[in-house]
Structure 1
């Protein structure tokens, strides 16, 4: 069990989402992700360890331009932080098996991440469908 507070755990997840997932600062992954990281919904072709985080984040940034991540909800129970977020960008490469559309897209993600020793150590996720976004949205 983590010794950090719920608000500290939520802040850690929010910083990781902003710095790594949205802004592409891959050099910060080791600052946020525990060496014993386990990704439970391991994506096909990606290791379920910390190296997999590097691969997934790089692939996300190859597939999407101008990534924006909007965290709709974040809650913490004990050492587990749950987020409901929307990821948006222009799809210029393959994303989760879908070929590039060269359109603005968005998809929802529900994440659960467990904190240990001030870092994220476990992850579960549910990805929503990739949807085109109308120009005015």
Structure 2
């Protein structure tokens, strides 16, 4: 797909959630270019690093479900921004913490640079502190009296 329409790019953002929920790491090839660059500290470089991260997430949260809450495309079509919700049960190692059996919800904001209908570069922000609180890895912040 040499030229992507606005609708194509919105679909790409939703396809990310579908692929994450499918737990099929091979499907990342559908949306990410071979020279993919990920600026997430948890991910190793390249498309293979993304596959490894997804595999690790699935191992720790085998019932993971990802929902696209918003998908926004830049006016020039070079960026896709998504707001996602991740729901699952922490039953195995996740972000360095052994399984607790506790459910959690995590949100992310992802920004991708797009070329030829595929993601080529990625930045994100994850609310991992909230996840750590939900699974009991860190205590909740004290509330002011």
TM-score (norm 1): 0.85
Cα pair 1:42 1:48 within 8 Å, conserved: no
After TM superposition, list the pairs within 5 Å mapping 1:1-137 onto structure 2.
3-19=3-19, 21-43=20-42, 46-77=43-74, 78-128=77-127, 129-130=130-131, 132=134
Instruction: State the alpha-carbon separation in 2 of the partners of residues 31 and 73 from structure 1.
Output: 20
Cα distance, 1:6 vs structure 2: 2.0
1:94-123 deviation per Cα after TM superposition (whole angstroms, max 9, x unaligned): 212233111111111111112111111110
SS of residue matched to 1:52:
helix
Instruction: State the alpha-carbon separation in 1 of the partners of residues 28 and 69 from structure 2.
Output: 23
Cα distance, 1:10 vs structure 2: 1.4
Let me know the Cα RMSD of the aligned residues. Answer: 1.7
1:21-64 deviation per Cα after TM superposition (whole angstroms, max 9, x unaligned): 11112221222210110001232xx4221111110110110010
Cα pair 1:91 1:104 within 8 Å, conserved: yes
Kindly indicate which of the two structures has a greater share of residues assigned to strand: 1
- Gaps in structure 2 of 5+ consecutive residues: 136-145
Instruction: State the alpha-carbon separation in 1 of the partners of residues 116 and 41 from structure 2.
Output: 23
- Gaps in structure 1 of 5+ consecutive residues: none
SS of residue matched to 2:16:
helix
